[in-house]
Amino acid sequence: MWREPVLAYVGLGANLGPATQVVTQALQSLDGLPGTRVLRRSSLYRSAPFEASGPDFINAVAALQTRLSAPDLLAALQGLEDAAGRTRPFPNAPRTLDLDLLLYGDACIDSPCLTVPHPRLIERAFVLLPLAEIAPQLVSAAQIGRVQGQDIVKIGA
């Protein structure tokens, strides 16, 4: 089915195994999703677990142009997580790869399987800082100010 392209933003994170390598590979894999291409990607960031446990996370955000519907994009992201060995033994468990659909155009979706904008997007420095890097118009100074106490550092391009 023909669909007009939509600008979507995806948050990436990992804190098990070779996390930097996994996040970098996932950024490349996003470009291979059907009808999808990566327009921009943030630097990599290291952040302490937030409402989670385990080692520090490696995080990034990517801007995608996609022809996939939001549910189809979510399913594709979950497929990439599964391919990276993601398991969900309990909420906020350490993970080999976590891909969150943050924004899907200007859509507001609230279904049992998907909520967009991501409901905790503005609470997390590991999302807001990389998002502000690639789409500063989407993040306010006040939002950044509310997460400034969270432990996060840019580690590379």
116-146: pLDDT as tens digits: 998 888 999 999 999 999 999 999 999 999 9
Whether the CB-CB separation of 125 and 47 falls below 8 Å is answered with yes
Between CA 79 and CA 105 the distance in angstroms is: 22
For β-strands 98-104 and 152-156, DSSP reports them as unpaired
87, pLDDT greater than 90: no
27, pLDDT greater than 90: yes
Between CA 4 and CA 72 the distance in angstroms is: 14
The dotted CATH code for 6-156 is: 3.30.70.560
**Predicted local confidence at residue 68, as pLDDT:** 96
157, pLDDT greater than 70: no
Q: Domain locations in the chain?
A: 6-156
> Which positions are annotated as active-site residues?
86, 95, 98, 100
Above pLDDT 70, what percent of the chain?
92
Helices (H), 34-140: 70-83, 125-134
70-85 average pLDDT score: 92
Structure tokens that stand for 107 in this block = 């859509």
Q: Band of the pLDDT at 84, cuts 50, 70, 90?
A: confident
**Predicted local confidence at residue 89, as pLDDT:** 55
Backbone angles phi, psi at 7, to 5 degrees: -85, 120
What are 107-116's pLDDT values in tens digits?
A: 999 999 898 9
**Predicted local confidence at residue 54, as pLDDT:** 81
